[in-house]
């Protein structure tokens, strides 16, 4: 394919490096330095997409991220599609494969284009009107239709294979945008000694200077001056330059998010590189230098491929050597389009006519065009275009003094370049929560007062003309630096020739001589919103621009309406007969342009999404084939199936082994807090329901901790290691919460207490050995501790050694069997475990997991906080009034236990539940009712909290919270199951060894 | 993400290092058992929830671990002043006047 | 400043990250004590280890084979290069016998990484939001903060050497993310 529309020389492309790529499967050639848009244009391709609603053929309109039409999907491999990339931002590389969107089967023949013929159906608010009735159509007709039609582009189907990086950065001055204002600001700030970050969404820094053919700065061509300025910045250690980096989010306190595209432009990226990097920047000062965006003209058929912004035509020509057309009509209301005309003419393009809305165009830009011999028509408006997939001609009309239009005939052309003037790009200022202010002279919204430490520089705050923009940029950089350092310097502002400010501009729909019922002039190209749609919305009662936006979808494009908003606003304002500031402007929000999910997720995915905590014995359990369950961030061994065993088989075997012989269990994840100080006992006495003052050294006590509202928040075993030292355990999931709760009271309520808390959760590995043979198993390994029940009874703690390792040995039980919990320093956990396991295995014992632990404790009626309790349960509800120290003057939550709603009869109480059919295992959470089929709206009596098969009982069993449960012993109630209600008997929650003789043996 | 100054560390850190801990200067009654149900409910649940300046507790949870107090404007989400636990509550009305000046 | 830091690379383990401009290594085991209490206790403890405990927020002190870190207004971590944790504990505990305090052996709770080289700060900034400019985070500064979602203690031992401690079960997460971030340093 030849590049028919490529200039013979010039531009910033490397003509010695051809690049082959495909678009919709067809091969094209461009040059290194091309964007997808510039390469397509060089190949004469304007038609690049179909519009969202009407599927109208659409061409490239802009040369920037505000591009509404040229959206493409790019996949480096199957299933990895990135949709909605803006072709002017896509840099081509060898082998690039781009696909257009919103068309089937092809761009030039698209079935969906039938929507265009049905366009009366799709007027403003069609979502709200068309699909209302009949109701039965919703599921089968409307929803499938909307689902297939909705959405831009195709989402990837496979998990993203790319890597994404995160980087936190700090700087004195962040400059967003590297055109003349941004370069000047960064230079001034850097010369003042400030730490500077300069970012720009484009592949090259320099902004408009890169396509300025005629201006000179300091006697150098503008582009050379830019190169020098960039080089000077890059040589400064305190400056970070970030091309291909979009400042997409301006948040509180100068927290600014940038998205850096690291490898998307490379043919064969090094796999060690991330695809994109999220920069989270905290800047002391921010300079917004995001420029201005040229406004389209709103005339009938302004969406025909080949119609493009005038400045875009100049950018493609001067920067990329790509001509928009060979015979061009320029429609404008503004001087700057004349620069495009002059540059095109100089490149050999036939400029048919400049159609200027203004009756008497004048000034330096107009003079330049006139002296280049270009035909200029004043009071001249484009009233339509012809051509199917590309513009073939433009209709022109003369605007008479009364505002009416008479036809002037047609002008043949293969491209129409338009300019309605310039809209300052206030998106980031608006994101910073600043309020834009309408400037009547500028005919634009400009940044108002700064809410954060930021300032705008250059055309984004209404300063135009290269000399003025540079001066503004230097001042902004210097002032930003001055706010940070006292050493701010005022650099000499270079002298500029050329680059004069252009006057003029228009807003809203243009006059024409066509039948208004039959023509459409587009305002928002991406969402297919026409001037008529906006007028209709106003007529239907939507008077605020925020409502008009949502009703018509204008300004909801990927550029948030930077291209379209002002025209929509103007049409609304004229229809409402209210000045623009009274109609308002929609708020620009983060992100500035679409950001990939990968960039937001960065490294937080897969195993690295959250820390995965493993115990020192984790690998052993893996080797033994354990299944694991997640308990907060921990991986805990759930059960240890032997070959061929189901979970049920394994748990039944593990339970029986513990009851009959001995089991070994990894209890490392329990939270541990060392409570130390002269007032340690007093403190624990205040935070637990149980009395602690008289707990002897070497003794353990089970404690319940309430919140101030009286509800159980945690439980655990507390050991008194020394007079002033306690070893407190918490639930696995509750450890951080409990520590914060205790610190809160210590620091804020009782700062007079001499007691301190230290988390020791990870200091210790904990090996639970439970069962009748527990003592026999550990005895040979223990030194310095008399394990006899007389010397070391149930609920006691001793310090000594096991396997030569220092230990805190707890004699305690959560299973109902005699048992120990061996605390050893974490790094020694595995070797002690191996030694104990050796002995356990020798006597026929087994490892057990959390499921068996749950069953064994349920057989004993022991609660699990968070399973039997739900944050509304007091000790008496779960039958643990015995753990509440009645003689205590106070403890956290004590007063609440006397609240009227707590002492009232009818509260739910913990009971045991046995199904009449011993094989039925109830579902946890199932409702308990008095009748098998209660009348509708009968409140349930309660619910099942734990339910298991018990090998000790040889049948199923359950725990439940039931209203007045303790008064219902022996009653028959009903529990819902998937197969209907089943009858159950209410029994004591202690199913096994009610006398408790086993654990103290 | 807000920046919050920890009065104990003396540095400004991102909000994510901190935990909010409710309204400040609500002291736990010395003898809860002597309170009526209404008084106890007042202590447990009643908060001012103002539009404007609020004295509230924060904890430098991922830093030095200390609780401290702060005056924050619930309208602008700006911290007006920060002070250590145990220091007197600033005169909010005076702060409003100062802020207006 | 003493010749040798209390932290040294664990010679039994291979480095975690080695590139031309940054290294990440696991530190050899240490005795670590958590001290909570007032300045009087701190003063006695400092005398017993030969390094006065820092009283200025976010600062550290170093002696031969020992260092002390300010973690909070009543909290310090003491690190000592010595084999027997129990013996060190008893020595320090005895020195503070008459002063209310809490001394807890946390030697096994934490693991430490040594991150060194000209790109050390850059590497840490992949997950830590602190500003490592030396004017803001000078040599000797120590702080608890977050590394991604993990709580850590971070100490700047010298311009290009940082020590990062985390609870042991969080260390694989920290290591994985440091390795991930370092990969691009070797790319062209």
- pLDDT at residue C59 tops 90: yes
* Minimum distance, in Å, between the CA of residue C57 and any CA atom of chain A: 18
| Residue B62 covered by a domain | yes
pLDDT in tens, A524-548: 999 889 999 999 999 999 988 889 9
* Minimum distance, in Å, between the CA of residue B67 and any CA atom of chain A: 7
| A890 at interface of B, judged by CB pairs closer than 8 A | yes
- Reported for A825-828, long-range contacts at CB under 8 A and 24+ positions apart, including other chains, are A825/A763, A825/A764, A825/A765, A825/C85, A825/C107, A825/C108, A826/A616, A826/A668, A826/A762, A826/A763, A826/A764, A826/A765, A826/C108, A826/C109, A826/C168, A827/A616, A827/C29, A827/C108, A828/A765, A828/A803
A279 confidence band (pLDDT: 50, 70, 90): very high
Burial A46-83 (b: 16+ CB within 10 A, else e): bbbbbbbbbbbbbbbbbbbbbbbbbbbbbbbeeeebbb
Q: Domain range holding B67?
A: 19-26+39-100
pLDDT for res A360: 96
Q: Could you tell me if C118 and C174 lie in one domain?
A: yes
Q: Domain range holding C127?
A: 1-28+109-183
pLDDT in tens, A290-331: 999 999 999 999 999 999 999 999 999 999 999 999 999 999
Question: Which residues in chain A have their CB less than 8 angstroms from residue C173's CB?
Answer: 608, 610-612
| Mean pLDDT in residue range C52-57 | 97
- pLDDT at residue A229 tops 50: yes
pLDDT in tens, A360-388: 999 999 999 999 999 999 999 999 999 98
- Which of A603, A755, A760 has its CB closest to that of C106? A760
pLDDT for res A131: 57
Kindly give, in sequence order, each residue whose CB lies less than 8 Å from that of residue A451, ignoring residues fewer than 6 positions away.
A432, A433, A434, A435
Q: Could you tell me if C58 and C116 lie in one domain?
A: no
pLDDT for res A759: 98
| A268 at interface of C, judged by CB pairs closer than 8 A | no
pLDDT for res C1: 46
Expressed in angstroms, the distance from the first to the final Cα of chain B is: 27
| Mean pLDDT in residue range A744-756 | 97
Distances (CA, A) of A536 to A123, A302, A527, A540: 8, 20, 16, 6
A55 confidence band (pLDDT: 50, 70, 90): confident
- pLDDT at residue A960 tops 70: yes
Q: A756 vs C128: CB contact, 8 Å cut-off?
A: no
| Residue C47 covered by a domain | yes
Identify the CATH class of A165-292+424-488.
alpha beta
Q: B65 vs A743: CB contact, 8 Å cut-off?
A: yes
Q: A747 vs B85: CB contact, 8 Å cut-off?
A: yes
Residue in chain C nearest B64 by alpha carbon: C72
pLDDT in tens, A784-808: 999 999 999 999 999 999 999 999 9
| Residue B9 covered by a domain | no
Total domains in the fold of chain B: 1
pLDDT for res A327: 98
* Minimum distance, in Å, between the CA of residue C64 and any CA atom of chain A: 25
The alpha-helical segments, DSSP class H, found in A503-612 are 531-539, 545-552, 565-576, 580-583, 597-601
Burial A762-800 (b: 16+ CB within 10 A, else e): bbbbbbbbbbbbbbbbbeebbeebebeeeebebbbbbee
Question: Which residues in chain A have their CB less than 8 angstroms from residue B37's CB?
Answer: 899-900
Please report, for chain A, the start and end positions of each structural domain, with discontinuous segments joined by +.
14-130, 165-292+424-488, 296-420+506-516, 520-576, 889-1000
Question: Which residues in chain A have their CB less than 8 angstroms from residue B83's CB?
Answer: none
pLDDT in tens, A403-452: 999 999 999 999 999 999 999 999 999 999 999 999 998 899 999 999 99
Please state the ipTM of this predicted complex: 0.97
* Minimum distance, in Å, between the CA of residue A615 and any CA atom of chain C: 7
A261 confidence band (pLDDT: 50, 70, 90): very high
Q: Could you tell me if C63 and C87 lie in one domain?
A: yes
- pLDDT at residue A121 tops 90: no
State what percent of residues in chain A have pLDDT above 70: 96
Q: B65 vs C143: CB contact, 8 Å cut-off?
A: no
Question: Which residues in chain A have their CB less than 8 angstroms from residue B14's CB?
Answer: 282
Q: B62 vs C129: CB contact, 8 Å cut-off?
A: no
A520-576: in CATH 1.10.10 = yes
A109 confidence band (pLDDT: 50, 70, 90): confident
* Minimum distance, in Å, between the CA of residue A598 and any CA atom of chain C: 15
| Mean pLDDT (chain C, rounded) | 95
Q: Could you tell me if C21 and C56 lie in one domain?
A: no
| Mean pLDDT in residue range A809-838 | 97
Q: A740 vs B67: CB contact, 8 Å cut-off?
A: no
Q: C180 vs A761: CB contact, 8 Å cut-off?
A: no
Q: Are the CB atoms for A593 and A526 separated by under 8 Å?
A: no
DSSP A760-817: -TTTEEEEEEESTTHHHHHGGGEES---STTTS-SSEEEEEEETTEEEEEEE--SSSS
Q: A889 vs B33: CB contact, 8 Å cut-off?
A: yes
Q: C151 vs B62: CB contact, 8 Å cut-off?
A: yes
| Mean pLDDT in residue range A101-109 | 74
| A165 at interface of C, judged by CB pairs closer than 8 A | yes
| Closest CA relative to residue C102, chosen from C173, C167, C176, C34 | C34
Q: C108 vs A280: CB contact, 8 Å cut-off?
A: no
List the beta bridge partners of residue B73: B53, B78
Q: Indicate the helix (H) or strand (E) that contains A146.
A: helix A143-149
Identify the CATH class of A296-420+506-516.
alpha beta
Tell me how far apart the alpha carbons of residues A295 and A36 are, in angstroms, rounded to a whole number: 22
Tell me how far apart the alpha carbons of residues C65 and C46 are, in angstroms, rounded to a whole number: 13
Q: In this structure, which CATH number among 2.40.50.100, 2.40.30.110, 2.60.40.10, 1.10.340.30 belongs to the domain A889-1000?
A: 2.40.30.110
Identify the CATH class of A14-130.
alpha beta
| A168 at interface of C, judged by CB pairs closer than 8 A | yes
Which CATH number goes with the domain that contains B60? 3.30.2270.10
Mutate which of C72, C77, C135, C152 to disrupt the B interface (most B C-beta within 10 Å)?
C72
Chains with ≥3 CB–CB distances under 8 Å to B: A, C
Which CATH number goes with the domain that contains C116? 3.30.1360.120
Question: Which residues in chain C have their CB less than 8 angstroms from residue B63's CB?
Answer: 143-145
pLDDT in tens, B89-99: 999 888 888 87
pLDDT in tens, B21-45: 999 999 999 999 999 999 999 999 9
Tell me how far apart the alpha carbons of residues C181 and A603 are, in angstroms, rounded to a whole number: 9
- pLDDT at residue C3 tops 60: no
pLDDT in tens, A141-161: 666 666 666 567 888 999 999
Q: Could you tell me if C4 and C50 lie in one domain?
A: no
Higher pLDDT, A25 or A109: A25
Question: Which residues in chain A have their CB less than 8 angstroms from residue B65's CB?
Answer: 743
| A610 at interface of C, judged by CB pairs closer than 8 A | yes
| Mean pLDDT (chain A, rounded) | 94
- Which of B8, B14, B66 has its CB closest to that of C129? B14
A137 confidence band (pLDDT: 50, 70, 90): low
Give how far the C-alpha of residue A346 lies from the chain's centroid of Cα atoms, to the nearest Å: 48
CA atoms lying within 13 Å on the CB side of residue A21: 30
Mutate which of A687, A709, A747 to disrupt the B interface (most B C-beta within 10 Å)?
A747
* Minimum distance, in Å, between the CA of residue A255 and any CA atom of chain B: 7
Q: A895 vs B65: CB contact, 8 Å cut-off?
A: no
- pLDDT at residue A861 tops 60: yes
Residue in chain C nearest B14 by alpha carbon: C129
| Residue B82 covered by a domain | yes
- pLDDT at residue C180 tops 60: yes
Q: Indicate the helix (H) or strand (E) that contains A351.
A: strand A350-356
| Residue B2 covered by a domain | no
Higher pLDDT, A601 or A125: A601
Q: Is the dihedral of CA B73, B74, B79, B81 positive or negative?
A: positive
- pLDDT at residue C2 tops 60: no
Burial C152-161 (b: 16+ CB within 10 A, else e): bbbbbbeebb
pLDDT in tens, C136-146: 999 999 999 99
Q: A749 vs B28: CB contact, 8 Å cut-off?
A: yes
Total domains in the fold of chain C: 2
Structural domain ending residue among the three candidates C106, C136, C156: C106
Cis before residue C70, ω within 30 degrees of 0? Answer: no
User: How many interface pairs between A and C have CB atoms less than 8 angstroms apart?
Assistant: 119
Give how far the C-alpha of residue C105 lies from the chain's centroid of Cα atoms, to the nearest Å: 15
- Which of B33, B67, B86 has its CB closest to that of A890? B33
| Residue B81 covered by a domain | yes
Q: Are the CB atoms for A827 and C108 separated by under 8 Å?
A: yes
pLDDT for res C82: 84
Which CATH number goes with the domain that contains C87? 3.30.70.1520
| A709 at interface of B, judged by CB pairs closer than 8 A | yes
| B28 at interface of A, judged by CB pairs closer than 8 A | yes
């Amino acid at each position: 394919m030849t590049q028919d529309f490529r200039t013979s020389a010039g531009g910033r492309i490397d003509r010695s490096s051809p690049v082959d790529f495909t678009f919709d499967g067809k091969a094209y050639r461009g040059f290194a330095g091309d964007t997808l848009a510039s390469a397509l244009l060089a190949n004469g391709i304007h038609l690049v997409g179909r519009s969202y609603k009407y599927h109208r053929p659409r061409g490239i309109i802009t040369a920037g991220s505000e591009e509404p039409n040229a959206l493409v999907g790019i996949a480096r491999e199957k299933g990895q599609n990135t949709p909605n990339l803006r072709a002017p931002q896509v840099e081509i590389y060898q082998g690039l494969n781009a696909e257009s969107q919103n068309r089937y089967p092809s761009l030039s023949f698209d079935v969906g284009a039938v929507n265009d013929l049905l366009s009366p159906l799709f007027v403003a608010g069609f979502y709200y009107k068309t699909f209302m009735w009949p109701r039965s159509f919703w599921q089968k007709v409307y929803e499938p239709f909307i689902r297939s039609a909705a959405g831009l582009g195709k989402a990837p189907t496979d998990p993203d294979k790319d890597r994404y990086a995160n980087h936190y950065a700090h700087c004195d001055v962040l400059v967003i945008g590297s055109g003349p204002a941004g370069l000047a600001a960064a230079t001034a700030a850097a010369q003042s000694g400030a730490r500077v970050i300069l970012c720009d969404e484009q592949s090259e820094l320099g902004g408009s200077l890169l396509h300025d053919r005629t201006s000179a700065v300091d006697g150098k061509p503008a582009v050379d001056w830019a190169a020098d300025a960039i080089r000077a910045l890059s040589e400064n250690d305190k400056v970070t330059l970030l091309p291909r980096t979009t400042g997409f989010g301006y948040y509180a306190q100068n927290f600014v998010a940038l998205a850096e595209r690291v490898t998307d432009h490379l043919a064969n990226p090094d796999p060690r590189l991330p695809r994109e990097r999220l920069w989270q920047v905290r800047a002391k000062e921010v300079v917004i230098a995001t420029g201005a965006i040229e406004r389209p003209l709103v005339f009938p058929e302004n969406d025909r491929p080949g119609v493009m912004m005038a400045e875009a035509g100049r950018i493609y020509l001067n920067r990329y050597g790509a001509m928009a057309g060979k015979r061009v009509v320029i429609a404008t209301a503004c001087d700057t389009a004349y620069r495009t005309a002059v540059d095109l003419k100089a490149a050999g393009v036939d400029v048919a006519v400049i159609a200027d809305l203004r009756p008497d165009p004048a000034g330096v830009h107009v003079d330049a065009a006139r002296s280049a011999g270009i035909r200029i028509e004043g009071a001249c408006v484009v009233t339509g275009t012809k051509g199917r997939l590309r513009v073939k001609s433009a209709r022109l009309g003369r605007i008479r003094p009364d505002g009416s239009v008479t036809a002037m005939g047609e002008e043949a052309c293969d491209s129409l370049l338009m300019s309605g003037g310039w809209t300052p790009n206030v998106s980031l200022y608006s994101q910073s929560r600043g309020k834009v202010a309408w400037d009547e002279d500028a005919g634009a919204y400009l940044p108002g007062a700064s809410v954060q430490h930021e300032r705008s520089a250059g055309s984004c705050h209404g300063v135009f003309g290269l000399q003025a923009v540079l001066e503004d940029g230097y001042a902004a950089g210097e002032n930003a630096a001055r706010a940070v350092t006292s050493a701010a310097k005022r650099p000499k502002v270079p002298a500029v020739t050329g680059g004069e400010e252009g006057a003029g501009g228009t807003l809203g729909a243009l006059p024409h001589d066509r039948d208004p019922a039959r023509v459409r002039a587009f305002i928002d190209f991406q969402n297919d919103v026409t001037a008529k749609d906006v007028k209709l919305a106003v007529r239907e009662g939507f008077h605020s621009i925020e409502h008009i936006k949502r009703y018509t979808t204008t300004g909801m494009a990927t550029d948030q309406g930077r291209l379209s908003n002002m025209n929509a606003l103007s049409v609304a304002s004229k229809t409402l007969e209210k000045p623009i500031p009274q109609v308002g402007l929609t708020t620009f929000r983060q992100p500035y342009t679409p950001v990939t999910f990968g960039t937001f997720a960065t490294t937080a995915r897969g195993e690295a999404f959250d820390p995965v905590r493993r115990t020192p014995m984790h690998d052993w359990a893996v080797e033994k084939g354990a299944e694991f369950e997640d308990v907060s961030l921990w991986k805990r061994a759930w059960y240890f199936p032997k070959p061929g065993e189901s979970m049920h088989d394994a748990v039944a075997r593990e339970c029986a082994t513990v009851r009959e012989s001995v089991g070994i269990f990894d209890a490392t994840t329990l939270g541990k807090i060392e409570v130390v100080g002269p007032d340690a006992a007093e403190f624990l006495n205040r935070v637990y329901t149980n009395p602690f003052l008289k707990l002897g050294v070497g003794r353990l006590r089970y404690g319940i901790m309430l919140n101030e509202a009286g509800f159980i928040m945690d439980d655990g075993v507390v050991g008194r290691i020394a007079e002033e030292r306690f070893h407190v355990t918490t639930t696995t999931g509750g450890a951080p919460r409990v520590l914060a709760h205790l610190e809160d009271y210590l620091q804020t309520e009782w700062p007079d207490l001499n007691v301190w808390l230290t988390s020791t959760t990870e200091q210790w590995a904990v090996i639970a050995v439970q069962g009748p043979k527990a003592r026999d198993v550990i005895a040979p390994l223990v030194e310095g501790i008399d394990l006899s029940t007389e010397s070391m009874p149930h609920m006691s703690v001793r310090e000594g050694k096991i396997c030569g390792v220092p230990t805190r040995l707890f004699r305690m039980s959560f299973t109902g069997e005699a048992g120990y919990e061996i605390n050893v320093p974490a790094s020694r956990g595995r070797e002690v475990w191996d030694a104990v396991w050796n002995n356990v295995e020798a006597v026929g014992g087994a490892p057990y997991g959390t499921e068996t632990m749950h069953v064994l404790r349920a057989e004993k009626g022991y609660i699990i906080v968070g399973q039997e309790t739900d944050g509304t349960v007091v000790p008496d509800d779960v039958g643990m009034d015995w753990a509440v120290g009645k003689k205590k003057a106070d403890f956290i939550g004590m007063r609440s236990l006397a609240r009227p709603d707590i002492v009232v009869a009818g509260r739910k109480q913990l009971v045991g539940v046995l199904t009449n059919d011993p094989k039925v295992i109830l579902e946890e959470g199932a409702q308990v009712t008095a009748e098998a089929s209660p009348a509708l709206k009968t409140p349930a009596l309660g619910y099942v909290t734990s339910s298991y098969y018990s090998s000790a009982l040889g049948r199923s069993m359950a725990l439940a919270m039931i209203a007045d449960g303790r008064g219902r012993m022996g009653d028959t109630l009903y529990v819902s199951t998937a197969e209907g209600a089943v009858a159950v008997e209410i029994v004591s929650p202690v199913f096994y060894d009610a006398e408790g003789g086993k654990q103290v043996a | 993400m807000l920046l919050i100054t920890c009065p104990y560390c003396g540095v400004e850190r991102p909000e994510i290092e901190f935990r909010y801990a409710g309204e400040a200067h609500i002291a736990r009654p010395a003898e809860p058992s002597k309170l009526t149900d209404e008084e106890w409910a007042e202590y447990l649940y009643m908060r001012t929830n103002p539009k404007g300046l609020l004295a509230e507790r924060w904890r430098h949870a991922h830093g030095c671990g200390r609780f401290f107090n702060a005056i924050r404007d619930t309208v602008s989400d700006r911290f007006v002043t920060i002070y250590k636990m145990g220091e007197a509550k600033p005169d909010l009305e005076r702060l409003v006047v100062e802020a207006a000046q | 400043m003493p010749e040798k830091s209390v932290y040294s690379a664990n010679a039994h383990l291979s480095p975690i990250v080695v590139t031309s401009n940054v290294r990440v290594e696991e530190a050899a085991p240490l005795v670590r004590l958590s001290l909570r209490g007032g300045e009087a206790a701190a003063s006695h403890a400092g005398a017993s280890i030969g390094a006065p405990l820092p009283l200025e927020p976010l600062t550290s002190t170093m002696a031969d084979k020992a260092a002390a870190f300010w973690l909070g207004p009543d909290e310090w971590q003491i690190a000592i290069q010595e084999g027997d944790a129990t013996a060190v504990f008893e020595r320090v505990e005895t020195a503070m016998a008459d002063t209310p305090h809490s001394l807890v052996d946390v030697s096994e709770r934490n693991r430490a990484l040594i991150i060194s080289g000209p790109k050390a700060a850059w590497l840490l900034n992949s997950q830590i939001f602190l500003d490592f400019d030396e004017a803001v985070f000078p040599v000797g500064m120590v702080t608890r903060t977050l590394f991604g979602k993990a709580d850590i203690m971070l100490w700047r031992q010298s311009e290009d050497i940082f020590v990062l401690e985390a609870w042991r079960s969080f260390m694989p997460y920290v290591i994985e993310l440091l390795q991930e971030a370092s990969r691009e340093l070797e790319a062209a």
